[in-house]
């Protein structure tokens, strides 16, 4: 019995904010907007926190320079699943895949991290 309590009690505490965000999202369109912002920022913070582990792992296997690319792709993958957002890249065939490339974002919105991940 103690084992079940130790498993389900943390799950209950974790699920409470999710239930509240869902209730806010279904109430009104402004609530849906803020719920999506909370999910987006929560995903961003989670991936940023886990990026330390990703960076350490990439350093151990000798690919430390690929850390930013991996973290951005993980964020894009999770965000597309959580919020059903998609990015369509025009002229993707013109991008050089074999050579180093610099991408710049001017931080006009919160979605630039998402776009760079694509």
- 30-87 pLDDT, tens digit each: 878 888 888 888 888 888 888 888 888 888 888 877 788 888 888 888 888 888 888 7
Mean pLDDT along residues 94-111: 74
Q: Where are the domains of the chain?
A: 8-117
pLDDT on residue 14: 74
pLDDT on residue 1: 59
Mean pLDDT along residues 108-112: 76
Is residue 117 within 8 Å of residue 89, measured between CB atoms?
no
pLDDT on residue 26: 72
């Amino acid at each position: 019995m103690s084992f079940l309590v130790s498993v389900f009690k943390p799950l209950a505490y974790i699920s409470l904010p999710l239930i509240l965000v869902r209730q806010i999202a279904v109430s009104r369109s402004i609530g849906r907007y803020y719920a999506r912002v909370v999910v987006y920022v929560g995903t961003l913070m989670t991936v940023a926190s886990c990026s330390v582990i990703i960076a350490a792992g990439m350093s151990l296997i000798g690919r430390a320079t690929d850390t930013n690319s991996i973290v951005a792709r993980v964020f894009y993958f999770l965000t597309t699943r959580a919020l059903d957002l998609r990015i369509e890249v025009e002229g993707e065939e013109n991008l050089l895949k074999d050579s180093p490339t610099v991408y710049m974002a001017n931080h006009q919105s919160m979605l630039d991290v998402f776009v760079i991940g694509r």
